[in-house]
Amino acid sequence: MIVLKWTLPIAAVAMLAIGFSGCDSSQVQPADDAAPAADMESGMDHDSMDHDAMNHDEHAMHDHTSHAGADAAEEIPAPEAKSDMDKMMETLASFSEEDKASAMKQHFCPVSGGMLGVMGKPEKMEVEGQTVWICCDGCKDKLLADPEKYLAKINQ
């Protein structure tokens, strides 16, 4: 019973001792790409500061361009993403005018539901006397297995 009597006070003293001693911050290493939150929020311009005069070693472990502000982001243009329509037009550009018009009129693969030309060059098929465009060779078997189902999607 004496052991239980002293367990709680000893645990409390141990927790306080650990809390007051803390950790040795000189051993903590910042991540290479970590940006100090305060600097990002305040818009601090690190490029115009004299880092040597400030004598702060915590900046020695990271690259300043990782939090250089909005100007750094503007210098690197983002690649322009093509829309599905752009991809379709680009793919169909090599087709004859007749095939291009036919594929554009159908516009989508009846099997996958995807826009024609987005995944590559669509395939032209004749199914029950009707011209049908599919997005890829992988859709051919499904189309031929149930042509009525997929022709109905096109003829709506």
- For residue 156, what pLDDT is reported? 86
Looking at the structure of the chain, the number of domains it has is 2
Nearest-angstrom CA–CA distance, 65 and 63: 5
Say if residue 68 is in the same domain as residue 95.
no
- For residue 37, what pLDDT is reported? 47
Say if residue 63 is in the same domain as residue 22.
yes
- Adjacent-strand bridge partners of 134: 123
- For residue 150, what pLDDT is reported? 97
User: Is residue 139 helix, strand or coil?
Assistant: helix
Average pLDDT, consecutive stretches of 10 residues, N- to C-terminus, the chain (156 residues): 71 72 56 47 49 49 52 62 90 96 96 94 96 96 97 93
Residues spanned by the domain of 12: 2-75
Residues shown for the chain: 156
For the entire predicted model, the pTM comes to 0.49
Say if residue 17 is in the same domain as residue 71.
yes
Nearest-angstrom CA–CA distance, 52 and 39: 18
- For residue 51, what pLDDT is reported? 47
Domain limit, last residue, from 75, 95, 116: 75
